[in-house]
Chain A
Amino acid sequence: MWMVLTRDTRRGLAVGAGLAAAAFALAVTFGALAVAGGLPPLAAVIMSAVTFSGSAQFAFVTALTGSGGVAAGLGTATLMNLRFLPMATACAPALRGGRVRRALEAQLVVDGSWAAAQDDQGRVQRSVLIPATVVQWPSWIVGTAIGAYAAPDTALSSSLGLDVVFPAFFAVLVLDIVRRRPELRTVVVASGVLTLLLLWVVPVGAALLAGCLPGIRTYLKSS
């Protein structure tokens, strides 16, 4: 079975499995925190199944339980997830079918899979993106259920060092990009510095989104 799969699909599954382990630990933490904050366990599990976005879910629950209410939770989560607009748009040419099918396939865009699916030219490889997400999604739901119903120590993933998986993985990919595509070095450095500065004055979601702005320089330069 493994040999029948394409090289890209095998890579997607392998990367997805690594990310799924970290996602699982994060989901256990999310489930435990959500229930501790007053959410019914089933609500936490359903949220993970239909949203599948760690940053937005943590933001939603934090705002909700911090007496901000549902509206504040939604606002914070939306800000966190605005990055999916450019990420999914960048994937659009790689997806298949008409507009509706592409919109449905774009639901598989999550940070780790999207980052792993970039090829040397910055194009998204659908054959990596889809398997990488398909592996992570069940682990996110199961992890949330375990966290919500069993409520283990939320410091578990931190003590095991699993919270470094995503930043380390993203950093390795950034390094690959700046080595293989020197024309993007300025954009990458400018985005990192801009985000670093903005993190002091604006919410994380807004700082992340601002990281896209140096890329517009590419458009202006080619005019």
Chain B
Amino acid sequence: MTPLTIGIALLALMNFTLKALGPLLLGPERMSERTAATIDAMGQGLLASLVVAALVGAAGSDVDAALLAAVALAMVLRWWGLHELACVLIAVALVAIIRSLT
């Protein structure tokens, strides 16, 4: 067993444990309304955090203007009622066009 093999195995185990822990502890039991509402709110906050992290990245990394513009366009299109997948595809096209021009 090389250190790399052990590292990959531990990475998989860590990933498995993080995903399994909550369902393993909770099982089929229902959460209280209050706990469920809190976990729901934490999840929605996490979703917003994912957007910010994907757009801004780590400290010191450059913010990609093409990504920002495309995500903004996707949100405007969604606001107008376009299907979510169509919004994403148009965002992809916009980024590809911007990058081909710059």
Contact = CB atoms under 8 A, between A and B. Distances in A.
Interface of A is mostly: helix
Contacts of A170: 47, 50-51, 54
Contacts of B94: 161, 164
12 contacts: A47-B8, A74-B11, A90-B40, A93-B26, A102-B28, A122-B44, A161-B91, A187-B44, A199-B58, A215-B38, A218-B38, A219-B34
A109 interface: yes
B91 A168 contact: yes
Contacts of B71: 164, 167-168, 171
Interface in A36-57: 39, 43, 46-47, 50-53, 56-57
Interface of A: 14-15, 18, 39, 43, 46-47, 50-53, 56-57, 60, 64, 69-70, 73-74, 77-78, 81-93, 95, 97-100, 102-107, 109, 111, 114-115, 118, 121-123, 158-177, 179, 181, 184, 187-192, 194-196, 199-201, 203-204, 207-208, 210-219, 222-223
A68 to B, nearest CB: 11
Interface in B1-28: 3-12, 14-16, 18-28
Contact of A81 (B9, B18, B50): B18
Contacts of B70: 161, 164, 168
Contacts of B23: 88-89, 91-92, 95, 99, 102-103, 105-106
Nearest to B64: A163
A162 B15 CA distance: 25
A99 B15 contact: no
Interface residues of B, number: 74
Nearest to A179: B79
A217 B89 CA distance: 35
Contact of A211 (B45, B56, B85): B45
A105 B96 CA distance: 36
Contact of B19 (A107, A172, A190): A107
B91 A164 contact: yes
Contacts of A84: 15, 18-19
Given A50-B8, A50-B12, A70-B6, A195 B53 contact: yes
A142 B11 CA distance: 20
A98 B28 contact: yes
